[in-house]
Amino acid sequence: MSDALDQNIATPQQSEQNYRSAPGISQSELKNLQYDPNKFFNKDWDKSRKEHFVLGSLVDCLLTTPDKFEDLFFFIEEEKIPTQKLMKMAEIFIEQGMDITLENLEVVRTHAGYNPTWGIAAVEKWFNSSAREYVELSLLNPDKTLATFKQKEIAEKIVESFKTNEFTKLHFEERENILRFYQVEIYYNALVKNPITNRTEEVACKGMLDMVEVDILNKTILPIDIKTTGKPTRLFGESQKKYRYDIQAASYTYGLQKLIAGEAESTLKLDLKEYTILPFLFLVETTIEENIGTPLPYKMSEADMLCGYYGTNSFPKNVPAIYSNGVMLQIPASPGWFTLLEQYLWHRETEVFNYTPKEWYQLKQHGAIISSIWN
């Protein structure tokens, strides 16, 4: 491994919290670049823990690191979750680490604008009955993620489904010659052509894979990601497009290629020089409680992987971005992993953050964005 590589990439962090703060661009962060470059560079994307994220995290933990479950989560009854208005007050108490006193309640109520016509006694009574337990538990568990007991119940059903279904259970059973690694961190430098300078540069990247199966007999590596969806599992293709899971698969596969080549740091400590990477696999189960029990495995096709790497205008035609002297001549309607890394370098060089390269080029050349909703 080169000295330059050692200087640029992070070392394995052994925890998700440290992983997220480690240097390097993750695929989940990079995908934000296509929607709002300003927010990407200011790291101002939405970090709130939405319900489906919490449920997905519960499932991931129960399947991949069950020994850490009690250390990562705490639980509350669903009816104890504050209403939206009360939640504003609750979050202030939690963020500021404030004791729930009458004096603090008055200050927080004013700041949150909660029912200004109510007397403080009425506010106190309602807060104590509907938000106090939530705040107190959150203050007692500052480093844990809050979930409801109902979410825990659903997560446990999903885990049981994955482990017992005939098409998914093989990935959780002990099998001869199969080694499994969970929450695998990979840190590497992606080689990207700078569209302004035309020089190839190293961009520090990182990824955390839910599961990696290593077949030591056949010398293969199977990268796996566990997905939960609020829709029936057979509609997973819609989520793949919406959330660009093809980019996730491409970036993780590229990271594994770097690891095989000895050009990455990872928590996976094996000599993989002679190994082949199998097509990326998503294991998918619904969160619709009455539909749990029929998880589906989805294997990435070669065409979808190409879209993940380079983007596409119309499936299955793959159209990489093309630059000439810093001017974008062609860009996919849906960018891929490498397209977005090029875009990252373009923004960094031009210091243009209010527009994407495609928008900037069209505005400069035509004074307007060229409509192309059917292409």
What is the identity of the amino acid at 160?
A: E
Instruction: Give the Cα separation of 215 and 217 in Å (integer).
Output: 6
Dihedral of CA atoms 40, 46, 52, 56 in degrees, nearest 10, equals 50
C-alpha separations of 238 from 38, 152, 244 in Å:
27, 26, 10
Confidence of residue 327 (pLDDT cuts 50, 70, 90): low
Structure tokens at 74: 């705490």
pTM for the whole structure: 0.84
Per-residue pLDDT averaged across 285-297, rounded?
Answer: 97
Q: What is the tens place of the pLDDT at every residue in 66-104? A: 999 999 999 999 999 998 889 999 999 999 999 999 999
Residue range 20-28: average pLDDT? Answer: 89
Judge contact between 219 and 228, C-beta under 8 A. Answer: no
pLDDT at residue 322 greater than cutoff 60: no
User: Which of helix, strand or coil describes residue 190?
Assistant: strand
> Residue 69 and residue 57: Cα distance in Å, rounded?
10
Number of C-alpha atoms within 13 angstroms, CB side, residue 287?
19
pLDDT digits (tens, 9 = 90+) for 101-114: 999 999 999 999 89
* Residue spans per domain, the chain: 3-47+165-312, 66-150
Nearest-angstrom CA–CA distance, 93 and 106: 12
Measured distance CA(313)–CA(333) in Å, rounded: 5
Alpha helix locations (H) across 24-79?
Answer: 27-30, 37-41, 51-64, 69-72
The Cβ of residue 343 has, within 10 Å, a number of other Cβ atoms equal to 24
How far, in Å, CA of 57 to CA of 171, rounded? 18
Looking at residue 335, the DSSP 8-state letter turns out to be -
Cα–Cα distance measured from residue 68 to residue 152, given in angstroms and rounded to the nearest whole number:
14
Asked whether the predicted pLDDT for residue 310 surpasses 70, the reply is yes
pLDDT in tens, 211-270: 999 999 999 999 999 999 999 999 999 999 999 999 999 999 999 999 999 999 999 999
CB atoms under 10 Å from CB of 276, counted, come to 11
pLDDT tens profile 157-214: 999 999 999 999 999 999 999 999 999 999 999 999 998 998 999 999 999 999 999 9
C-alpha triplet 33, 35, 39: angle, nearest 5°: 60
How many other C-beta atoms lie within 10 A of the C-beta of residue 160? Answer: 13
Distance CA 53, CA 73 (A): 13
- Write down the pLDDT at residue 170: 97
What per-residue confidence (pLDDT) applies to 45? Answer: 57
Higher pLDDT, 305 or 8: 305
State the Cα–Cα distance between residues 153 and 137, nearest whole angstrom. 19
Tell me the pairing of strands 178-193 and 264-266: antiparallel
Say what angle helices 120-130 and 102-112 make with each other, to 10 degrees.
Answer: 90
Q: Which CATH number fits domain 3-47+165-312: 3.90.320, 1.10.4100, 3.30.505, 3.40.50?
A: 3.90.320
